Homo-oligomer: A and B are copies of this chain.
Amino acid sequence: MRVDVTSVVDDRGTTDVAGHDVLAPDCPSRVVFGRIGERWTMLVILALARAGTLRFTELKTQVGRVTPKVLTETLRALEDDGLISRRAFQDSPPRVEYSLTPLGESLLEPIDAMRAWAERHVPEVLAARERAASA
């Protein structure tokens, strides 16, 4: 199929029912994995999932050692993707509340699958890493 890199593997049903080629660099799953692979997004999403709603500084302390700049970037990106919503009140001092959108909440399911895998298998991964390091 079109897309340059393509046709890499037409010979064995590599595209799913929806017509996506999971190996193509522009596959939707790449978009998703790219986003959740970024350093702070998971932490932000999980923090919001727990708290429901958090203000900027609350988020900052919950998430850990993130600098305001990077946190802002992360939040903007997630907002642009429709995963979180930002409501600003013009109180003084300023108040801004972040929370998950329904779309963001729906992402919790696959995230949790990943987390479950991690909890079950990370000991094996760490053991393998240690073996590799000492070798």
Chain B residues near A117 (CB, 8 Å)?
Answer: 32, 106-107, 109-110
Chain copies in complex = 2
Least CB distance, A110 to chain B, in whole angstroms: 4
Chain B residues near A95 (CB, 8 Å)?
Answer: none
Assess whether A8 is in contact with B61, with CB atoms less than 8 Å apart. Answer: yes
Assess whether A5 is in contact with B82, with CB atoms less than 8 Å apart. Answer: no
Least CB distance, A101 to chain B, in whole angstroms: 9
Chain B residues near A107 (CB, 8 Å)?
Answer: 117, 121
CA distance A132 to B126 in the complex (A): 40
Least CB distance, A71 to chain B, in whole angstroms: 14
Count residues of chain A with CB under 8 A from any CB of chain B. 63
Contact of A33 among B36, B51, B62 (CB under 8 A): B36
Interface positions, chain A 55-75, Cβ under 8 Å from B, are 61-65
Determine whether A88 belongs to the interface, using a CB cutoff of 8 Å to chain B. no
Chain B residues near A24 (CB, 8 Å)?
Answer: 64
Assess whether A114 is in contact with B115, with CB atoms less than 8 Å apart. Answer: no
Least CB distance, A8 to chain B, in whole angstroms: 5
Task: Give 7 nearest A-B pairs by CB, closest first.
Answer: A37-B37, A82-B128, A28-B122, A80-B132, A113-B113, A29-B118, A32-B118
- Known A30-B42, A114-B114; 15 more pairs at CB < 8 Å: A8-B62, A9-B62, A25-B43, A29-B42, A29-B115, A32-B117, A32-B118, A80-B129, A80-B133, A81-B129, A83-B125, A103-B121, A106-B117, A109-B117, A110-B114
